[in-house]
Structure 1
Amino acid sequence: MRIEVNGDPRDIKATTVADALAELGWAKARVATALNGDFLPSAARAGQTLRDGDRLEVLAPMQGG
């Protein structure tokens, strides 16, 4: 399936957001996610299915000042 991840087209095998994060290397990372422009809480990732053409945004917190 082809989705957009942070603005880049990606071909993935995952069918849920949680599985996509694992496939893309963010399985253990503390990140915020949005699917098609809507915030997606971490507790909802395992149950949220992906469809061809979905837009997934993954944001990591940054430190600094």
Structure 2
Amino acid sequence: MSQFTERTPGDHGPRTVTVNGQTRELGSETTIRQLVRERSESDRGFAVAVNGLVVPAVRWDETVGQLDAAQIDIFTAVQGG
């Protein structure tokens, strides 16, 4: 059973989503991977949470609409001590 709410197929309209604290209009077909790739050509070194739940990288091809996303946080790994 998924931790995320699945939306009905065909819900393709724009959605208002908060991405890293900024409100954006996204098509419901926008994938999590596309949002990560806006920041870097590589998917490595990132973590993503949707509505407060961490999304494993294997699910990043799911869409904003499929995940019923209202808030998306994209984190960059930082080295240090």
* TM bucket normalised to smaller: 0.7 to 0.9
Say yes or no: does 1:18 pair with 2:33. Answer: yes
- The alignment's TM-score, normalised by the length of structure 1, stands at 0.73
Say yes or no: does 1:28 pair with 2:34. Answer: no
1:2-50 deviation line (CA, Å, top 9, x unaligned)? 311111112335521112222x32341420000111110111101x220
Query: CA–CA distance in 1 between the matches of 2:60 and 2:32?
Result: 5
Work out whether residues 12 and 20 of structure 1, in 8 Å CA contact, stay in contact via their aligned partners in 2: no
Gaps in structure 1 of 5+ consecutive residues: none
- The alignment's TM-score, normalised by the length of structure 2, stands at 0.61
SS at match of 1:12: strand
SS at match of 2:36: helix
State the aligned residue count. 63
Gaps in structure 2 of 5+ consecutive residues: 1-13
Query: CA–CA distance in 2 between the matches of 1:33 and 1:41?
Result: 8
Percent identity of paired positions between Structure 1 and Structure 2: 25
Quick check: which one's helix share is greater? 1
